[in-house]
Structure 1
């Protein structure tokens, strides 16, 4: 456990110290503020309500921005280190490759969580400041943000799997984006398979909003996402373990 803990600290430090990831956090915060101000001064004419600002921004994050951030982070922590040879220094430490993979995975999820925290806090503050968000809705919004992390896990693991097949960070990003788009298009072109595609559940947090939660549907989705996560993790680990550096 200490090896994984130290690995998480090292990998997280790599991400948070890079200028582009600091700028990304700032830009996403500015985007949230901009949407809130536009909504307030246009009285919701752009279909973004201040009362639902955190949820509106969450939809943008889970469907577009976070997958792109994940693909970039995976490319930097996996493909780029394999490309420039810095991974050699990591695997020579007293830590298994399995622990290295888990450390990098958790570090990416920590960064994604920081994005969610920033948008959650800014969205709530703006909603409360302009008198549009009721205190009673805050726990529901918080739960929506917490559970939105679950569908992000298989997406991250798929990108890690793809990075093991890529020769450079740029090809890792492009291939991840391409495959992600193909999967989305498959769900649109063949609607019958959409319920079986993990990407179809990026907005599953909506199941937790309302008077009643469909427990059976939630458990089914959790099982599906866990299945995809295990498959992608197994594939990524098998390739990562066999690679020679």
Structure 2
């Protein structure tokens, strides 16, 4: 197996070994059931009267704006800052620093994809249980929304990795990333011109893909997200190369 691919698997195993990762996976998969069951048992009729798609998008919104960003921050702090604290970040391996950096980042991205898939499965199965009118077409549209959400989350991952490399305390990295994320969410209210420059703005961009989509807007948005992700990763890698063994 290619050393880079082998190390991605190694990083995935390290993340999966953490109890908090297992907790996130369970929460992601069972959140749709829990919310819908809770709403039904508490007789929240206004919420349950909404179409399944609307409820499912609310759940996706909760995942991409709260749960998954928190997982990204904790994973970046663990694989970069935490290992730097323990002195295990740059152990002698049969791969170079670029492969090591990319494999760590890719493992976080893959876990995000896994959680999005689990979230979609939870949403689909819970919709079948609680709404007899839910069909294959609805499941396909829902899958598209979850898949599209992966791209802005990858951009947020690049930001998290960059900041995790700037600090030497994993606790400081997580708290700093949470504060930065909150600042990014509220900054556009003070400076509206910054709205489309922040990665956090695009976390709910799946809503803009529903219905008629402007081809020009789609290309511009995808290019911006990809270029900003590349910029953050390049800067992060530069910092990574400066780390001492």
Fold agreement, TM-score > 0.5: yes
- After superposition, the CA RMSD in angstroms is 1.8
TM-score (norm 1): 0.92
Q: Unaligned 5+ residue runs, structure 1? A: none
CA distance in 1 between counterparts of 2:69 and 2:6 reads 26
> Would you say 1:128 and 2:128 are equivalent positions?
yes
CA distance in 2 between counterparts of 1:2 and 1:139 reads 34
Map 1:47-86; keep pairs closer than 5 Å.
49=50, 51-52=52-53, 53-86=55-88
Q: How many pairs are equivalent?
A: 242
> Would you say 1:218 and 2:218 are equivalent positions?
yes
CA distance in 1 between counterparts of 2:150 and 2:38 reads 27
The structural deviation recorded for 1:57 is: 1.2
Q: Is the 8 A contact 1:39 1:45 kept in 2?
A: no
- The equivalent of 1:183 in structure 2 is 184
The structural deviation recorded for 1:47 is: 6.7
Map 1:125-164; keep pairs closer than 5 Å.
125-130=125-130, 131-164=132-165
What's the secondary structure of 1:221's corresponding residue?
helix
Q: Unaligned 5+ residue runs, structure 2? A: none
1:109-146: CA deviations, max 9, x gaps? 11111211111111111111221423222211111111
> Would you say 1:11 and 2:11 are equivalent positions?
yes
1:138-194: CA deviations, max 9, x gaps? 211111111100001111111111111111111111111111222222212111221
CA distance in 1 between counterparts of 2:65 and 2:35 reads 17
TM-score (norm 2): 0.92
How has the CA–CA distance of structure 1 residues 106 and 152 changed in structure 2, closer, same or farther, with 3 Å as cutoff?
same
- The equivalent of 2:169 in structure 1 is 168
The structural deviation recorded for 1:30 is: 3.1
